Structure 1
């Protein structure tokens, strides 16, 4: 069996399995994006989360929270209010931590070139301990402040999902047109080769600082499709 046929078979098997997530279904804000990817021959999704605010009660032997070994006191994919957090905190016996987790999407890709199109990074998160051994360590005013921050991140996260989806559609449409017109593909490959040569000449004979190195990487990323420029790291 060739690799393409093997990938297609694997995709059918994975998408036919039951959803084993806690919610048991795809989050509303990413349903359209997930369906779009699964309709493409070169992708299929294995898990996703549109972004959420969590209150976790972990162990009392350290502040590192392991979600598989802790109690979920509260979880929401919508903006959160202080009263809900205060009520949930009363159930904490260990170290309760408030977290905001941004949009996550795990995708299996048919080949490396397809994976490069989906290469995106983001540091848009939040994790703050609130109690220790069941004792609240912060004021309600501070909890209210944290929730304002978390809710703002949730709103920004939704915008990023929309931006990612729109850019992904644009890149894949451009990729399809390139594959249908070999002359365009040849021209793009030639342009990419010239750009690589310019970058090598630029780097040669210089002391490459971190800033220069980052600039070279960003130049290359333009030809890989969607990359870190969609979700800037300075959020």
Structure 2
């Protein structure tokens, strides 16, 4: 537990490595919700985006390509056409859905997030356990879109087709936003309902005492023992077994 707390503090103290040096708007709310809990630490995220990338030309370089257009909101055909005017290589139009990576203290914490993610429509979500037992929960979806538009700077599709692509991407973006909202609301409810296991222990003696009293009353009614008589050690063991059976059921 202490090791996870140290790892979390170190990670949250690092500067944001993204090009805009800040979280996307929707991911920021989820990050605040999760990082406020000692069991979670957000690692990386993206709200979902529409991009046009090129293998050459001027612009923002990322992994041997240039971003001609980047937006986390629905886009317009005109934005894409303007971006394609700058293309000198192979331009690709993409829609990439929301993604969130969360470090979890225990496996049961990751399982809670995974359940909420699946119920919210993020069907490609998963849990990984790395070296040293580091547990990471990834919230991912499958409704991606990737279409090549130009080759060596030459547009290979019609403007009508680009308009159609933009319409499809915007539909996917709107669904992406709905899923994020469902995940956020579902996560709030799940975290409120989650109770640490150690808070359940005080209830066990109360349950044992209840079994003990019921057994004495039953014996008194049957004339097998005086209500004031204390249980023998063997009977006490039987009561414990009865309690265990009730808990198991």
- Cα deviation digits, residues 44-98 of structure 1 (max 9, x gap): 1111111110101137xxxxxx951101111001111111111111111111111
| Distance in structure 1 (CA, Å) of the matches to 2:96 and 2:36 | 27
Match of 1:85 among 69, 80, 84: 80
| Distance in structure 2 (CA, Å) of the matches to 1:21 and 1:40 | 24
Residue 115 of structure 1 deviates from its aligned partner by 1.3
When normalised by structure 2's length, the TM-score is 0.67
Q: Which residue of 1 aligns with 2:138?
A: none
Q: Which residue of 2 aligns with 1:194?
A: none
The answer to whether structure 1 residue 105 and structure 2 residue 100 are counterparts is yes
Q: Comparing both chains, which one has the higher relative contact order based on Cα–Cα distances under 8 Å and sequence gaps of 6 or more?
A: 1
When normalised by structure 1's length, the TM-score is 0.71
Give the number of aligned pairs.
Answer: 180
Q: Which residue of 2 aligns with 1:25?
A: 22
Q: Which residue of 2 aligns with 1:158?
A: 177
SS of the residue aligned with 1:9?
helix
RMSD between aligned residues? 2.4
SS of the residue aligned with 1:31?
helix
Output aligned runs, 1:1-235, within 5 Å: 4-58=1-55, 68-119=63-114, 120=117, 121=124, 122-176=141-195, 180-182=199-201
Unpaired runs of 5+ in structure 1?
A: 60-65, 192-235
SS of the residue aligned with 1:22?
coil
Unpaired runs of 5+ in structure 2?
A: 118-123, 125-140, 205-243
